[in-house]
Amino acid sequence: MLDLKFVRENPAIVRESLEKRGEDSEILENFLKVDEERRRLLREVEPLKNKRNELSRQIGRKKQKGENVDAYMQEVKEISSLIKEKEKQVEEKEREVKEALLGIPNIPHSSVPPGKTSADNQVVREWGEPRRFSFTPRHHWDIAEELGIIDFKRAAKISGSRFAVYWGEGALLARGLIQFMIDVHLRQGYEEVYPPFLVNRASMTATGQLPKFEEDMFHTDMELFLVPTAEVPVTNLFREEVLKEDDLPVRLVAYTACFRKEAGSYGKDVRGLTRQRQFDKVELVKFVHPDASYQELETLLQDAERILQLLEIPYRVVALCTGDLGFSAAKCYDLEVWLPSEKRFLEISSCSNFEDFQARRANIRFKPREGKEKTRYLHTLNGSGLAVGRTIIALLENHQQEDGSVLIPEPLRPYLKGKYTLEKKQV
């Protein structure tokens, strides 16, 4: 979340930020209103406390003189009751202030391109030439079903729509990609963690999924949420902790299954693996010094790109505009892979710098080397490295052959028992 004092003292900047994002300024006005009410109540409490203290001193002096203090005692009792009532109101307003502040999105970095929708996003660079096919390229779901590696019908029978069963070599491919990605990122200097797939409300709030996106999340009657991304448990590893500056940067890689309701996406990418309610993802998370966070964002992006380069999948890097920026992000790049069957690009990774937005919500700080300096909020970053299901989509479509087989890129072969191709099972 944003710093309370900053929002209070710079409403014009926050209002402009909301306008750039296409957000209603009502959330800001609500914050300013409840914050002022809270401060007014505090201003009313202070003189009451002073008056009670003065009466208490008078009671002490009068008792020493043997004078009657009943009237003073009664007045102190009434003032104390009023103070208690107002302090209760202050407590309620403090809750409302925090709730309002949690609803205000991050302020976009000055380098984020202006715009209202994804149509205004800017292509930063492209890698690889889209392949020219001598035949009509097929959709990934047709390829997968023909090879017998993914079963959508049985998944629907088991769980409903937007689920998949990876079968035989499909399961091997999914597991192989996960391990391949992790191994590449370990060589890049990340440390692996394997976190829980269920997290509490505090963890979801810290990374910005709650309260705004609660309806998009799966949760249990134990008030635990299924993780929408490994960003949530990994970022919360250091919640309420103070790191040393010498420990920064911390670079972590994690695999988790991810769970999202995909509310509001009815009719969009309903076939195949594009928009599943359960999917696998390898995530990169960084905890860095504020002065280095934008340099770390660029290296994070390059680390995710390396996976696509090794798999020989054409892609482009897109800088998201202000209107398409995620709630918690100050700046975000998307990686988009080429889909020959549809002649369009598909997002496969988002790499974001949240600056101190998540760290402030999670209370993650660091102690500067100079001992006299106060602790500071660090910056958090994360990016998909990559979404496994969408990587499979890109692999099947870009490396499909006319005979129905799919070539396996050389770096991936050791993870698939040395196989060069995925082929139809012989009947």
Catalytic site positions: 260, 275, 347, 350, 390
With tokens 């208490």, the residue in question is 56
Q: Which of 194, 196, 214 is nearest to 261 (CA)?
A: 214
Q: Are 33 and 93 in contact (CB under 8 A)?
A: no
CA dihedral of 116, 121, 122, 123, whole degrees rounded to 10: -170
Structural Rg of the chain based on CA atoms: 28
Residues 6+ apart with CB under 8 A from 79: 48, 51, 52, 55
CA distance 309 to 190: 19
Which backbone phi and psi does 183 adopt, to 5 degrees? -60, -40
* CB neighbours of residue 288 within 10 Å: 22
CA distance 361 to 355: 12
Q: In angstroms, how far is CA 235 from the centroid of its own chain?
A: 9
Residues 6+ apart with CB under 8 A from 104: 1, 2, 7, 14, 18, 27, 28, 31
Residues 6+ apart with CB under 8 A from 396: 140, 143, 144, 406
The amino acid at residue 333 is Y
Helical axes 388-398 vs 140-147, angle rounded to 10°: 90
Q: Are 298 and 113 in contact (CB under 8 A)?
A: no
DSSP symbol at 127: E
3-state secondary structure of 59: helix
CA distance 254 to 233: 10
